[in-house]
């Protein structure tokens, strides 16, 4: 009970910590996360987590998400993962409880925004999303998806939304985010804004096609100033930077 309360409080604190500073400002934003609905089965590796984050299926029992979505490394049976359905209320959705959380060592809110959640039972019949192990795919145009807000300050979504966003070089992104950790973070979005991930998409994957035309994960939804604002791209954890640490952690969790 206390544990549940603590987890809820931590999740709430994490959410508040990433809310835009001027969330109450008067200018409404049409910050469309996707504008379009993903088709059932289009992104089988997408995961919704009960603390209000996204994730990606790394292996049959591991979900890759953001460090800021979880509280600490250790046993954790309080998270529910929902998989296998674009509609979170679908009768064919799969729900599985967590049994362990691994948060990136040294995570302090500055870069290193990744974590693994181990599921109590493995899921079958869903494709996993391989992660980029080098920098080759850290360019071009990326797909993002999630059940987060479809407008800045808006409600969480029942149906999975998707969007495409272009890569933004560190040198450009740094003008918007002077605190950018260039080695740990990768930015994507349009100069004019309008398309972006938003609150509740955190932890979900940013991905693209590889040379074999397969999906490969290059980013993890991490942060942004508001959502879809002009000159403020979304900031994602740079998966290639953490690929070997993620693989090592995954192995330590039993794969
Ligand atoms: N930190 C947010 C979350 O917890 C995601 C923010 C993404 N923001 C953006 N503008 N791309 O869901």
Q: How far is the CA of 217 from the centre of ligand 1 (A)?
A: 17
Q: Which residues pair with 96 in a beta bridge?
A: 81
197 lines ligand 1 (CB under 6 A): yes
pLDDT in tens, 148-174: 999 999 999 999 999 999 999 999 999
15: pLDDT confidence band, cut at 50, 70 and 90? very low
160 with 147: CB under 8 angstroms?
yes
227 with 31: CB under 8 angstroms?
yes
Question: Is residue 6 scored above 50 in pLDDT?
Answer: no
Q: How far is the CA of 66 from the centre of ligand 1 (A)?
A: 10
Q: Helix, strand, coil proportions of the chain in percent (round to 5)?
A: 15, 30, 55
Q: How far is the CA of 152 from the centre of ligand 1 (A)?
A: 10
Predicted pLDDT at 72: 97
Q: Is the pTM of this model over 0.85?
A: yes
Lookup: tokens for 244: 């070997």
Q: What is the mean pLDDT of the chain?
A: 89
Contacts of 204 (CB under 8 A, 6+ apart): 46, 47, 53, 54, 55, 56, 65, 144, 145, 146, 148, 197, 220, 221
Predicted pLDDT at 26: 30
Phi, psi of 147 (to 5 degrees): -105, 15
Q: Is 237 helix (H, G, I), strand (E, B) or coil?
A: strand
- Could you say which DSSP state residue 51 is in? T
224 lines ligand 1 (CB under 6 A): yes
pLDDT in tens, 85-105: 999 999 999 999 999 999 999
Lookup: tokens for 47: 């995961």
Question: Is residue 1 scored above 60 in pLDDT?
Answer: no
Q: Mean pLDDT lowest for which of 4-8, 56-60, 89-93, 152-156?
A: 4-8
194 with 29: CB under 8 angstroms?
no
Predicted pLDDT at 12: 43
- Could you say which DSSP state residue 110 is in? S
């Amino acid at each position: 009970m206390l544990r549940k309360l603590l987890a809820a409080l931590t999740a709430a604190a994490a959410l508040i910590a990433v809310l835009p500073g001027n969330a109450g400002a008067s200018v409404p934003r049409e910050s469309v996360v996707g504008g379009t609905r993903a088709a059932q089965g289009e992104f089988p590796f997408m995961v919704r987590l009960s603390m209000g984050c996204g994730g990606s299926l790394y292996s049959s029992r591991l979900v890759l998400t953001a460090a800021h979505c979880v509280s600490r490394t250790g046993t954790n049976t309080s998270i529910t993962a929902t998989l296998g359905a674009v509609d979170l209320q679908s009768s064919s959705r799969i729900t599985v409880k967590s049994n362990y959380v691994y948060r990136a060592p040294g995570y302090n809110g500055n870069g290193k925004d990744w974590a693994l959640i181990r599921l109590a039972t493995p899921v079958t019949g869903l494709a996993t999303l391989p992660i980029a192990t080098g920098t080759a795919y850290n360019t071009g145009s990326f797909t993002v998806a999630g059940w987060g807000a479809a407008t800045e300050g808006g409600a969480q979504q029942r149906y999975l939304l998707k969007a495409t966003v272009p890569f933004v070089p560190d040198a450009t992104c740094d003008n918007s985010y002077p605190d950018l950790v260039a080695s740990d973070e990768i930015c994507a979005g349009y100069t004019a804004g309008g398309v972006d991930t938003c609150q509740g998409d955190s932890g979900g994957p940013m991905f693209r096609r590889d040379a074999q035309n397969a999906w490969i994960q290059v980013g993890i939804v991490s942060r942004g100033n508001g959502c879809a604002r002009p000159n403020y791209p979304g900031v994602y954890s740079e998966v290639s930077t953490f690929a070997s640490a993620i693989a090592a952690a995954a192995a330590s969790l039993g794969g």
